[in-house]
Amino acid sequence: MSTRPGRPDPLEKTGEPRWLVVRDRVSRALEYRMLAGGSDLRAAITAKHAELARAGWRVESIPKKCAFFFADRDNDRVCVSVECFEPTEADVRRFRR
């Protein structure tokens, strides 16, 4: 019987850029921010998790070996994820830094 290789960590640092994206129920990008290559992806998604919690959102935990979490408030539900490709929506609101 062969052994199954471990799943890679999607939040491991990489030399390629990634995007922190907030999507609505129908997967439209509401906000996004580019994370430069070499960025700490886990720190970025954890910071967004804390930001939404402080703003009154009920946030779910970030699953192990996953690069997303869900949050809801009133009738709104969003998915926050680290993605490999830049969203292409024309009406996207970017994060302010």
The number of distinct structural domains making up the chain is: 1
The answer to whether position 12 is within a domain reads no
Domain extent, residue 24, equals 18-85
The answer to whether position 91 is within a domain reads no
Statement: residue 45 has pLDDT above 80: yes
Q: Give the β-pairing of 76-83 and 68-73.
A: antiparallel
Statement: residue 4 has pLDDT above 90: no
The answer to whether position 30 is within a domain reads yes
pTM above 0.75, yes or no: yes
The answer to whether position 93 is within a domain reads no
Statement: residue 95 has pLDDT above 90: no
Statement: residue 3 has pLDDT above 60: no
The answer to whether position 23 is within a domain reads yes
Dist CA 55 CA 18 (whole Å): 24
Of residues 53, 45, 57, 36, the one with CA closest to residue 9: 45
What average pLDDT does the segment 43-57 reach?
Answer: 97
State the pLDDT at residue 91. 47
Q: Which residues on adjacent β-strands are paired with residue 12?
A: none
